[in-house]
C-alpha cells in the first residue's frame, strides 16, 4: 500500500505541474482534503502529513467526528454538501466555512444566524454551470443569481469569497474543462462588476479525477478525497436496505 505522504506528494506535484503549464504561481492552489465517509483517524493521519483544510458533507457524520478532532489545532473545516435550511444553524456551529450556498434564502438565513452569533461567515456560491436539473446551485445569469449578488451588499455577516462547482460527472477528466472554464469566466465577469461585499478570489473546482484540468483552468482550491484516502467505505445503509 502506498502511504498517505507519498500520495499527497504526488498530488502536490500534479498541482504544481498544472500551475506551470498555465503560468500560475505554484502556491496559488489550496488543497482541501475531503474526509467524508472516512473515520476521524483518516483526518488525523492527513493532518500529521501536513493537511490543514478539510471538507465534509454530512452534518450528522461530522457531529460525531468533531470531538475526536479537537487536537488538530489550526485545521479548518468546510461544509461542502447540500445544506438544508433546517440544518443551517448546526452547520454554522460546526464549520469554519460553508462552501455551498445555493439560494438567496439560505444566504439570508446564514447571515442572520451569523449576526446573532456576532461573527462573519465565509461562504462560496455553488454554481450549476451544467444547467442540470435536480442539482443544487445557481444557474448563471438567472434571476435568482442576480438577486443574490445584489443582496450581498446587505448580507453583512457573510463574506462571499467566490464560486464552487461540481461539474456533471464524466469519467474522462478532460470533459470537465469547458465547465471549469465557464466558471472562471463567470468569476471574472462578476469580479469586474465590483459588487459590494462580493470578492471573487476563490474558485473551488476539481476533484480526484479532474483536479489537474481544474487547476489549468484557474482553480484556487481543489477538493480531493479518493486520491488521498482511497475509496470511501460504503455507507452502512447500503448493506441494510
List contacts with ligand PLP (CB under 6 A): 34, 36, 57, 80, 166, 207-208, 223-227
Minimal distance in Å, beta carbon 232 to ligand PLP?
Answer: 7
Minimal distance in Å, beta carbon 173 to ligand PLP?
Answer: 11
Q: Which is nearer to ligand PLP, 148 or 214 (CB)?
A: 214
Burial class (CB in 10 A: 0-12, 13-18, 19+), 76: middle
Give the bridge partners for 76, in sequence order: 53
C-alpha R_g of the chain: 18
Q: Helix (H, G, I), strand (E, B), or coil: what is residue 152?
A: helix
Minimal distance in Å, beta carbon 40 to ligand PLP?
Answer: 17
Q: Which is nearer to ligand PLP, 193 or 234 (CB)?
A: 234
* CA pair distance 220, 31, nearest whole angstrom: 9
Q: Is residue 186 a contact partner of residue 127, using CB atoms and an 8 Å limit?
A: yes
Q: Helix (H, G, I), strand (E, B), or coil: what is residue 157?
A: coil
**CA distance from start to end of the chain:** 32
Minimal distance in Å, beta carbon 4 to ligand PLP?
Answer: 14
Output the residue with the shortest Cβ distance to ligand PLP: 225
Q: 170-175, long-range: CB within 8 Å, 24+ apart, which pairs?
A: 171/209, 173/209, 173/210, 173/212, 173/213, 174/213
Minimal distance in Å, beta carbon 156 to ligand PLP?
Answer: 27
Minimal distance in Å, beta carbon 78 to ligand PLP?
Answer: 10
Q: Which is nearer to ligand PLP, 9 or 120 (CB)?
A: 9
Q: Which is nearer to ligand PLP, 63 or 226 (CB)?
A: 226
Q: Which is nearer to ligand PLP, 33 or 149 (CB)?
A: 33
Q: Which is nearer to ligand PLP, 5 or 112 (CB)?
A: 5
Q: Which is nearer to ligand PLP, 87 or 157 (CB)?
A: 87
* CA pair distance 69, 77, nearest whole angstrom: 10
Give the bridge partners for 123, in sequence order: 98, 160
Minimal distance in Å, beta carbon 229 to ligand PLP?
Answer: 8
- List all residues 6 or more positions away from 42 whose beta carbon is below 8 Å from its beta carbon: 35, 229
Amino acid at each position: 500500500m502506498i502511504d498517505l505522504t507519498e500520495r499527497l506528494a504526488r498530488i502536490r506535484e500534479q498541482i504544481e505541474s498544472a500551475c506551470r503549464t498555465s503560468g500560475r504561481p505554484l502556491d496559488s492552489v489550496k488543497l482541501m482534503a475531503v474526509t467524508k465517509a472516512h473515520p476521524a483517524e483518516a483526518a488525523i493521519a492527513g493532518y500529521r502529513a501536513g493537511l490543514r483544510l478539510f471538507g465534509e458533507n454530512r452534518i450528522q457524520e461530522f457531529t460525531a467526528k468533531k470531538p475526536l478532532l479537537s487536537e488538530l489545532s489550526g485545521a479548518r473545516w468546510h461544509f461542502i454538501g447540500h445544506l438544508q435550511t433546517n440544518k443551517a444553524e448546526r452547520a454554522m456551529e460546526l464549520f469554519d466555512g460553508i462552501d455551498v450556498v445555493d439560494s438567496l434564502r439560505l444566504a439570508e438565513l446564514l447571515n442572520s444566524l451569523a449576526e446573532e452569533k456576532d461573527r462573519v461567515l465565509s461562504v462560496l456560491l455553488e454554481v450549476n454551470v451544467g444547467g442540470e436539473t435536480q442539482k443544487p446551485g445557481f444557474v448563471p445569469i438567472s434571476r435568482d443569481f442576480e438577486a443574490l449578488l445584489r443582496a450581498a451588499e446587505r448580507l453583512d455577516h457573510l463574506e462571499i469569497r467566490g464560486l464552487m462547482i461540481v461539474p456533471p460527472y464524466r469519467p474522462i477528466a478532460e470533459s470537465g474543462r469547458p465547465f471549469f472554464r465557464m466558471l472562471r469566466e463567470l468569476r471574472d465577469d462578476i469580479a469586474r462588476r465590483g459588487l459590494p461585499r462580493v470578492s471573487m478570489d476563490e474558485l473551488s473546482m476539481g476533484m480526484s479525477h479532474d483536479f489537474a484540468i481544474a487547476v489549468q483552468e484557474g482553480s484556487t482550491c481543489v477538493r480531493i478525497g479518493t486520491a488521498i484516502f482511497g475509496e470511501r467505505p460504503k455507507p452502512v445503509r447500503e448493506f441494510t436496505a
